[in-house]
A = this chain, B = another copy of it.
Amino acid sequence: MYYCGDEETIAALATGKGKAALAVIRISGKEAIEKIKECLLPEGKFQKVLPNRINRYNFIDNETKKIIDEITAIKFVFPESYTGENMVELVCHGSEIIIEDILSVLIRKGIRLAQKGEFTRRAYLNGKMDLMKAESIDQIIQSTNRIHHKCALEMYTGNSKKTLIEWKNQIIAILSDLEARIEFPEEDDILGKKIEYKKNIAGFVEKIEKEIKKREKIKLLDFGFNVPIAGIANAGKSSLFNLIVGFNRTIVHHEEGTTRDAVSEEAEIKGRRIKIIDTAGLNETDNTIEKIGIKKAWEYIENGNMIILVSPANQELKEDEKTILKKAGKEKTIVIISKNDLKKTENKNEYFKNENIPFMETCLLNDQNREKVLDFIGKHMETFLNFDDENGIICNKRQEEIFFKIRQKGKKTLEIMDNSYEDMISYELKGILNDFEEFFGEIRDDEILDAIFSEFCVGK
């Protein structure tokens, strides 16, 4: 039999989990069409219909002959499919039980469950798309924020590649000039040329650097902008947490040491998704469980991306609160002075003003202050995340690591430029070109592919 897909036929649920009107199960591989036809009634229909047409069938358990679901199915004949192999897409009802039953039948028929990214990996191996496009598909799906999404879409449409090829060509231009100089060392003044090279390479490194910085911010958005709420016991941390999350997730109570475990929740403030963490109050305690909570609280404070210190107006500023500012870093901390309806013991405002730390005063038990508090937090989050309008290039970890390598070689080139022979400089620049090739996926390596596609979701 001629090639029409991988020997191993694979299947996976391609749509989201959970109850829904519909679900799509994808099957790809040499025998995809052959094997599915035995599960569809009326008999013979699936063989006869033309590819790319949707039709209704009963999907049956081919052993018990019982109907599992009424479905629609489309067959795609290689190479005219996503993977470039024979493929079938089944659209069944979005019930967990039906999906499970259909996949069980497929497994019994010798079809195996697809690994993460295996469909796209096959598409790439069968020449249906280049590596950057394959990666971008995953990133389009994974991205939970518009900036990352836009970045992935630019990669998908090929715009990012255009930019990268331009940059690569700048290096090629320098390199060929340099190579010519190695062959004909007598011509021209080398010092003047080196100044020009340095200027160009410095500009190049700057662009690389900028992309790495954009990536840093995207990662903050992607992997959760962690915002621990810190403070002494009974400062109003849980009240703030509830105010943000919007319902009584934790028990708010006047007694000290109420929040033992750190409680966290995904929340959206001014359109940005963050993880807000209610930590244990930093009070002295002999209680072993509370001690565990306090130890955790310090960890959250040190690892947070932005820390909200809640400090009650009716108590003096404590040593622990100053330690929070120190451990978290002033530039990462904002302060909410709570309980401003109670009698003030000292002028905390003055202190935070002098220290140049953003603060607001409020009463957290009053729901009417919610918007004001969210505005305050949101405004300061933006200063951390401050994106310009440009599209980023780096979409994932692999690409990020290659950018690190390029930056390093670029910087090294600048360092050695003045005191090195042309061939040493040329060596570094060739390394950069090699890195670009790796980025574009022009170098195929099974281990690298494993690493790339194992990050994908199943069914893609």
Q: Given A52-B53, A251-B261, A289-B253 in contact, is the A140-B20 Cβ separation under 8 Å?
A: no
Question: Is A368's CB within 8 Å of the partner chain B?
Answer: no
Find out whether the CB atom of B140 lies under 8 angstroms from the CB atom of A69.
Answer: yes
From B53, B98, B137, B140, give the contact of A53 (CB < 8 A).
Answer: B53
Question: Is A146's CB within 8 Å of the partner chain B?
Answer: yes
Complex Cα gap A12–B94 (Å): 14
Classify the interface of chain A: helix, strand, loop or mixed: mixed
Question: Is A21's CB within 8 Å of the partner chain B?
Answer: yes
Q: Given A18-B17, A97-B146 in contact, is the A157-B52 Cβ separation under 8 Å?
A: no
Q: Given A52-B53, A251-B292 in contact, is the A141-B95 Cβ separation under 8 Å?
A: yes
Complex Cα gap A253–B459 (Å): 42
From B16, B95, B143, give the contact of A15 (CB < 8 A).
Answer: B16
Chain A 43-76 near chain B by CB (<8 Å), digits 1 or 0: 0000000001111000000000001011000100
Measured CB to CB, the closest approach of chain B to A297, in angstroms, equals 15
Complex Cα gap A20–B292 (Å): 38
Q: In chain A, residues 124-160, which have Cβ atoms closer than 8 Å to a Cβ of chain B?
A: 137, 140-146, 149, 153, 156-157
Measured CB to CB, the closest approach of chain B to A86, in angstroms, equals 15
Complex Cα gap A368–B149 (Å): 46
Chain A 443-460 near chain B by CB (<8 Å), digits 1 or 0: 000000000000001111
Question: Is A200's CB within 8 Å of the partner chain B?
Answer: no
Q: Footprint of B on A, CB under 8 Å?
A: 12-24, 26, 52-55, 67, 69-70, 74, 91, 93-98, 119, 137, 140-146, 149, 153, 156-157, 251, 253, 255, 258, 260-261, 287-289, 292, 457-460
